[in-house]
Amino acid sequence: MSANSFGSALHVTTFGESHGVALGVVVDGLEPGIPIDVQELRRMMERRRPGANALGTARKEQDEVSILSGMFQGLTTGAPLAMEIRNGDQKSSDYDEIAGLYRPGHADWTWQQKFGIRDWRGGGRSSGRETSSRVAAGAIAMQILKLKGIGIVAGTVRIGDVAASRRDWDVAPSNPLNCPDEQAAIGMQERIEAARKAQDSVGGIIECIATGLPPGLGEPVFDKLDAKIAQAMLSIGAVKGIEFGDGFSCALSSGSRFNDEMALDGNGKPMFLTNHAGGVLGGMSSGAPLVFRIAVKPTPSISLPQRTMDLDGRERIVEVHGRHDPCVCPRAVVVVEAMAAITILDAWYTAFGRVPRPSDIR
Ligand SMILES: Cc1cc2nc3c(=O)[nH]c(=O)nc-3n(C[C@H](O)[C@H](O)[C@H](O)COP(=O)(O)O)c2cc1C
């Protein structure tokens, strides 16, 4: 297994299992002299933390991050920034019943076939808990991007059959889904509660918008910005699809409607009159907001009985008990923001290098 690192100019390597001693991340290639707000890092971790809101798992992890290296007097040094998140509230006994069974929809079968051994306690590396390391790295990337004038926000825009019809990002933080439509957020939360009561789960869609990207981030032809974002997003557990801008509906459009025409703005600068493309042309950022949506499948671990196999090749019925999220979306929103930040900062360093602008240094 050798695919635990992401990035070309910025290398992000995660380690650790759901029920091991700790998880963590090493972020190598950061520019030196950048102030890091540790409280802001903690706030971002809190948004992913299990037990942080009523919609998720009953598991309670503190997700306390320790910075082990790469910072001095509050500034990045340019050396590898290592962060550790200790595991606390593990109940490995929750998994005793299913140690010898493959959970439908989870990575148990493929992991066993490929590696011949798997840490069945909590799903090991394929647990949603692995994403805590990504959020820690993303929180750092997000702060550096902010200094470059780049902002990233993500929120749930669909849960099952309940969809957001507004995009008011100011109201999003007031609900646990970070949904930009207050009214729809209520229906979405009811939908998740209904899934929990039915011992089932439900999927959804998360939208992400990054603003302030200069034209030219992304490297044609294999490291196009949209290709790298797609890789980053599809590497998050339970993400099954991605679309940019108008997405799959482009297939129903025509060139005259879909093309984003250009004109001069009030200051005589070139601008796009629409953003059907979602901010990427030819794999490079166009300067328009980067807009994409990901489809998240229903959480695989459910307590309803389902047919499966055991390790000895017998047909069995499995009911997955324990403390699972009835919907992945509420906790995945911040993971999407984190992976977007890592990918965009990597694209920035690849395009422009990692020398900080003098104005970035205190
Ligand atoms: C933040 C987050 C939380 C998750 N929580 C759970 C969970 O409680 N139970 C579960 O079975 N899967 C959970 N998942 C999904 C699994 O990690 C994922 O479905 C599994 O690794 C299989 O990968 P795949 O769905 O991409 O094929 C979570 C994923 C994320 C990103």
The token pair that represents 101 in the structure block: 């069974």
What is the CATH classification number for the domain harbouring 236?
3.60.150.10
Residue 61 in any domain: the answer is no
Q: What is the pLDDT of residue 169?
A: 98
Ligand 1, pocket-test mutation among 49, 200, 325, 335, most atoms within 8 A of CB: 325
Q: What is the pLDDT of residue 163?
A: 98
219 neighbors 305 (Cβ within 8 angstroms): no
Instruction: Determine the distance separating the centroid of ligand 1 and the alpha carbon of 299, expressed in angstroms.
Output: 6
Q: How many domains does the chain have?
A: 1
Residue 53 in any domain: the answer is no
pTM of the predicted structure, to 2 decimals: 0.96
48 CA closest ligand 1 atom index: 1
Would the pLDDT of 332 be above 90?
yes
Per-residue model confidence as pLDDT tens digits over 270-296: 999 999 999 999 999 999 999 999 999
56 CA closest ligand 1 atom index: 8
Tokens 């499966």, residue? 308
336 neighbors 294 (Cβ within 8 angstroms): yes
Contacts from 180-185 at CB under 8 Å and sequence distance 24+? Answer: 180/155, 180/207, 181/157, 185/156
Q: What CA–CA distance (Å, rounded) separates 318 from 264?
A: 61
Residue 196 in any domain: the answer is yes
Per-residue model confidence as pLDDT tens digits over 180-232: 999 999 999 999 999 999 999 999 999 999 999 999 999 999 999 999 999 99
Res. 120 pLDDT band, cuts 50 70 90: confident
DSSP string across 210-227: EE-PPTT-SBTTTB-HHH
Range of the domain at 215: 92-346
Q: 294: Cβ below 6 Å to ligand 1?
A: no
Average pLDDT over residues 315-322: 94
Residue 10 in any domain: the answer is no
126 CA closest ligand 1 atom index: 21
Per-residue model confidence as pLDDT tens digits over 255-273: 999 999 999 999 999 999 9
Q: What is the pLDDT of residue 114?
A: 95
Q: 301: Cβ below 6 Å to ligand 1?
A: yes
Nearest CA to ligand 1 atom 29: 128
Average pLDDT over residues 326-332: 97
Res. 357 pLDDT band, cuts 50 70 90: low
DSSP string across 278-324: -SEETTEE-SSPEEEEEEEPPPS--SS-EEEEBTTS-EEEE---SS-
Would the pLDDT of 362 be above 50?
no
Q: 334: Cβ below 6 Å to ligand 1?
A: no
Would the pLDDT of 1 be above 50?
no
When the pLDDT of each residue in the chain is averaged and rounded to a whole number, the result is 94
Nearest CA to ligand 1 atom 25: 238
Residue 224 in any domain: the answer is yes
Per-residue model confidence as pLDDT tens digits over 67-97: 999 999 999 999 999 999 999 866 666 677 8
Q: What is the pLDDT of residue 82?
A: 98
Instruction: Determine the distance separating the centroid of ligand 1 and the alpha carbon of 271, expressed in angstroms.
Output: 40
239 CA closest ligand 1 atom index: 26
Q: What is the pLDDT of residue 62?
A: 80
Q: 195: Cβ below 6 Å to ligand 1?
A: no
Residue 87 in any domain: the answer is no
240 CA closest ligand 1 atom index: 26
The 3-state DSSP class for residue 171 equals coil
Residue in 236, 275, 231, 276 with CA at minimum distance from that of residue 253: 276
Q: 296: Cβ below 6 Å to ligand 1?
A: no
Residue 295 in any domain: the answer is yes
| Element at 51 (helix H, strand E) | none
Per-residue model confidence as pLDDT tens digits over 33-69: 999 999 999 999 999 987 777 787 766 778 899 999 9
Helix and strand numbers (H, E) in the chain are 7, 18
| Element at 12 (helix H, strand E) | strand 11-15
Instruction: Determine the distance separating the centroid of ligand 1 and the alpha carbon of 269, expressed in angstroms.
Output: 45
Residue 357 burial by Cβ neighbours in a 10 Å radius (0-12, 13-18, 19+): exposed
Residue 98 in any domain: the answer is yes
Per-residue model confidence as pLDDT tens digits over 145-176: 999 999 999 999 999 999 999 999 999 999 99
Q: 324: Cβ below 6 Å to ligand 1?
A: yes
The token pair that represents 93 in the structure block: 């006994």
